[in-house]
A and B are shown apart, each in its own frame.
Chain A
Amino acid sequence: MPDFTVSDSTIPDPTVLSRNTKLSDQYRPVFSIFYALLVRDFHVYFRHRGAWLNPLTFIFMVILLFTLGIGPNATTLTANAAGIIWVVALLGIMLSLDALFRADYDDGSLEQLLLSPEPLYLPVMAKVLAHWVVTGLPIVVASPLFSLMLGISGKAIPALALGLLLGSGVLSFLGAIAASLTVSLRSGGLLIALLILPMYVPVIIFGSQFVQSAIEGWPLTATLSMLVALLIGSAVLAPLAIIGGLRMSIDG
């Protein structure tokens, strides 16, 4: 069991806040919880390097397997590279989703969070954001290496990274919905996949098309704006479903 005790400095102490008389502090509790959760999750995640290392290792291994399955022919690999990288990145993020709320559910801190009178929108944002920083962001950072492995040309590498940056956020937000719904079940892993893979269809289409367009030198604005729209849409709407899912998981 990882240690989830939080150092006192990161918890907003209600007595201290009530002694503050400034009117501008009215909104502080909400953001304090946001920061507190973010900081705590970072502490937890970085104390356990598996949180960010395991998805990344998984991705590298599956790319290796794809290469072994398809064959070493460079043109075949490059022609399929965009699709391979996107599918593999999607699977890596998806497999890490089960852990998103699991520890908080097991030690009861999720219930505590839901009992608090503050709005849950920002705390949920913090959870997803922290999860994205340890799963999505490393994939973005490592994406030039994927490109090298599959022979994507230099000019398409920034497009791949940008596409993954936007798309992995969508994957995290949508995936967190499935994670919130299955956290009370003993084994949510495969169920998360069944629930969320159909929802990932637009991300995989626009994400890999964005890379393909960059490789072919086609205009990028259409697919880029779609990825941005998907990210904004999922960031605004997904937390509502996540809150509903968490409430369901706690109340039964």
Chain B
Amino acid sequence: MANWQWFHRLGSPKWLHGTINRWLPWVLVSALVLLSIGVVWGLAFTPPDYKQGNSFRIIYIHVPTAVVALAGYYAMAIAGAVSIIWRMKVADMALRAIAPVGAAITLLGLFTGAVWGKPTWGAYWVWEDARLTSMLVLFFLYLGIMALHDAFQNRQGGSRAAAIIALVGTVNIPIIYKSVDWWSSLHQSASIKFTEESTIAAEMMYPLMVTIPGVYLLFAAAVMLQMRVQIAHSERHSRWLEKYAINRA
């Protein structure tokens, strides 16, 4: 079946290695270009928010990291589902590659959120903000998956365990987010209102439309790099990689 050839080739580490090497420069360069444009635009060329002043410029990195942190978890869960259903090695690799990158991006989202919180609410951490609390839970979900990977000596077992817990997490995340949202609205003090949507001017939103895909692409590049490390590890005794290593240097 010619149509399914790509699907079977996905199982070949050599093919995957070649594909990653072919795509990586493009992904990386476009990520860096988009991020440079978006960040310079957001930092220097947009007017400040009439209420928050210049501190709102953190939005151009905070929102993309928050979006990608959640999307990364879902990507990981999809990889987990693929690995459970089709037993594809590539999916295991993707799952293993996404976990540390996703955790790093989530941590970054937390940090930028906290730094944004200080000038806005007067405190680095405000529990009433459901989004920060949910993101902290998301960070722990990532750490759990990484710990599970590390705990298994047997690589295949670790991958399957992580795939299962990632799927369980996917079912749970909407419930966690909703419950934390409800909890924070219940305990919200009168002085801090997060519920009202701030009316951000359109021209302030444009850089965000650039940095969000930028961080997505950067995430993809980091995941590809991580997968390449895994391929190099699992294929360290194979002829093709040895040839590649000699020819490259």
Direct A–B contact in the complex, CB atoms closer than 8 angstroms: yes
Q: Is the CB of A252 within 8 A of B140?
A: no
Q: 0/1 per residue, A170-206, Cβ < 8 Å to B?
A: 0000100110011011000001001101110110011
What separation, in Å, do the CA atoms of A198 and B172 have in the docked complex?
A: 9
Of chain A, the residue at the smallest CB distance from B140 is A198
- Is A245 interfacial (CB 8 A cutoff)? yes
- What residues of chain A lie closer than 8 Å to B147, measured between beta carbons? 191, 194-195
- What residues of chain B lie closer than 8 Å to A226, measured between beta carbons? 179
Say yes or no: A252-B157 contact (C-beta < 8 A), given A191-B147, A201-B180.
yes
Q: Is the CB of B175 within 8 A of A198?
A: no
Q: Is the CB of A194 within 8 A of B157?
A: no
Q: Is the CB of B148 within 8 A of A201?
A: no
Q: Is the CB of B164 within 8 A of A237?
A: no
Of chain B, the residue at the smallest CB distance from A203 is B179
- Is A142 interfacial (CB 8 A cutoff)? no
- Is B246 interfacial (CB 8 A cutoff)? no
Q: Is the CB of B157 within 8 A of A248?
A: yes
Q: How far is the CB of B224 from chain A (nearest CB, A)?
A: 27
Consensus secondary structure, chain A interface: helix
- What residues of chain A lie closer than 8 Å to B29, measured between beta carbons? none
Say yes or no: A182-B84 contact (C-beta < 8 A), given A177-B168, A199-B168.
no
- Is A158 interfacial (CB 8 A cutoff)? no
Q: How far is the CB of A230 from chain B (nearest CB, A)?
A: 8
Q: Is the CB of A191 within 8 A of B151?
A: yes
- What residues of chain B lie closer than 8 Å to A181, measured between beta carbons? 148, 161, 164-165
State which size class the interface on B falls in.
20 to 34
Q: How far is the CB of A62 from chain B (nearest CB, A)?
A: 21
- Is B109 interfacial (CB 8 A cutoff)? no
- Is A244 interfacial (CB 8 A cutoff)? yes
Q: Is the CB of A244 within 8 A of B186?
A: no
Q: How far is the CB of A205 from chain B (nearest CB, A)?
A: 5
- What residues of chain B lie closer than 8 Å to A178, measured between beta carbons? 165
- Is A241 interfacial (CB 8 A cutoff)? yes
- Is A209 interfacial (CB 8 A cutoff)? yes
Q: How far is the CB of A52 from chain B (nearest CB, A)?
A: 27
What separation, in Å, do the CA atoms of A53 and B203 have in the docked complex?
A: 64
Q: How far is the CB of B49 from chain A (nearest CB, A)?
A: 32
Say yes or no: A252-B175 contact (C-beta < 8 A), given A191-B147, A241-B164.
no
- What residues of chain B lie closer than 8 Å to A194, measured between beta carbons? 140, 143-144, 147
Q: Among A174, A194, A195, A238, which residue has the most Cβ atoms of chain B within 10 A?
A: A195
Q: How far is the CB of B134 from chain A (nearest CB, A)?
A: 9
Q: Among B138, B144, B186, which residue has the most Cβ atoms of chain A within 10 A?
A: B144
What separation, in Å, do the CA atoms of A204 and B244 have in the docked complex?
A: 53
Q: How far is the CB of A175 from chain B (nearest CB, A)?
A: 11
**Could you list some 25 contacts between A and B, CB below 8 A?**
A181-B148, A181-B161, A182-B151, A184-B157, A191-B148, A194-B147, A195-B148, A195-B165, A198-B144, A198-B169, A198-B172, A198-B176, A199-B172, A202-B172, A202-B175, A205-B179, A205-B180, A209-B183, A209-B186, A230-B175, A238-B168, A248-B157, A248-B160, A248-B164, A252-B156
Give the interface of B toward A (CB within 8 A). 84, 137-138, 140-141, 143-144, 147-148, 151-152, 154, 156-157, 160-161, 164-165, 167-169, 171-172, 175-176, 178-180, 182-183, 186
